[in-house]
Structure 1
Amino acid sequence: MDITIHQTYLPQDDPDAALGFYRDILGFEVRNDVGYNGLRWITVGPVGQPGTSIVLHPPAADPGVTDEERRTIVEMMAKGTYAAINLATKDLDSTFEKLQAGDVEVVQEPTDQPYGVRDCAFRDPAGNMVRIQELR
């Protein structure tokens, strides 16, 4: 099989704050920005990697989600326990310094993990966990 990861979805509850984080701080390019019925879906991705994208979507926009489920999702987002993404970089310390200068919520400074990776962690404006691992 020849399968690649094309898109992943992360919820966002403030499209402008999401753009500020993913475009302005992480340096991702905006590939699509679509509004519908007062909601907004933004597709971003790393420059030079057109085949991999993150779709930043309104939480629980699926019409099959109940109001109670929607409230639970929003509560989990606020706690930072609903969604996460792992990214990678060749120079973790430099990347961490740039992100920290961008006034982001640091969860963990660069750390050598007991399971063999060196990484750090942030929360995006919606509370999603963003871990960045150093490529070795």
Structure 2
Amino acid sequence: MTMNALTRSQIYVLDQDEALDFYVGTLGLEVNTDVDLGFMRWLTVNVPGDKDREILLEKPGPPALDPGTAEQVRELLTKGAMGGWLCLTTDDARKTYETLVAKGVDITDEPSEKPYGIDFGIRDPFGNKIRIGQMFAQG
């Protein structure tokens, strides 16, 4: 058995409409799937042009979590103690940083050069951590 692709990742959000506004309206990702399954809203986004890798913006609750556990997850997320983690790349980290600062995004650290590239950190409205990096060519 061989795995051949990573197709979906998941992060918890408290409000899927607010998440859409942030991930699509602010960060520039695009909606991949937005379907009401009855028991939950299946809402995924992807980097433009990369429909093979989706991020599920999941509201804590059924069917994955019972009501008590979902409440605990919401509390931890609100406190910033349980946020997920994403890494996105950009062609120009400093310009992307300036654009996001102008949009009022919660910046956790400014761009700095690392052995692998230039990156910086932001946080979404729910406490999820995001690294945005301009990667150096590896060779």
- Corresponding residue for 1:77? 77
User: Are 1:131 and 2:131 counterparts?
Assistant: yes
- Mapped to 2, the partners of 1:80 and 1:134 lie a distance apart of 26
Q: How many residues align?
A: 134
Gaps of 5+ in 1: none
% identity of equivalent residues: 31
Deviations 1:39-60 (A, max 9, x none): 5331110111111111111114
The alignment partner of 2:60 has SS state of coil
AA partner of residue 10 (structure 1): I
Structure 1 residues 52 and 96, CA, compared in 2 at 3 Å: closer, same or farther?
Answer: same
The alignment partner of 2:52 has SS state of coil
- Corresponding residue for 2:30? 29
Structure 1 residues 16 and 63, CA, compared in 2 at 3 Å: closer, same or farther?
Answer: closer
Q: Is the 8 A contact 2:14 2:59 kept in 1?
A: yes
- Corresponding residue for 2:122? 122
- Corresponding residue for 2:95? 94
Q: Is the 8 A contact 2:105 2:123 kept in 1?
A: yes
Moved over 4 A (4+): 36-39
- Corresponding residue for 1:6? 7
- Mapped to 2, the partners of 1:63 and 1:111 lie a distance apart of 38
- Mapped to 2, the partners of 1:21 and 1:100 lie a distance apart of 13
AA partner of residue 47 (structure 1): P
Deviations 1:78-112 (A, max 9, x none): 13232111112221111111112222111111123
Comparing both chains, which one has the higher relative contact order based on Cα–Cα distances under 8 Å and sequence gaps of 6 or more?
Answer: 1
AA partner of residue 20 (structure 1): D
Deviations 1:62-93 (A, max 9, x none): 355350x2232112211323211111222111
AA partner of residue 134 (structure 1): Q
AA partner of residue 22 (structure 1): Y
Q: Is the 8 A contact 1:120 1:133 kept in 2?
A: yes
Gaps of 5+ in 2: none
How big is the alpha-carbon RMSD for the aligned residues of Structure 1 and Structure 2?
A: 2.1
Using the size of structure 2 for normalisation, the TM-score is: 0.83
Using the size of structure 1 for normalisation, the TM-score is: 0.84
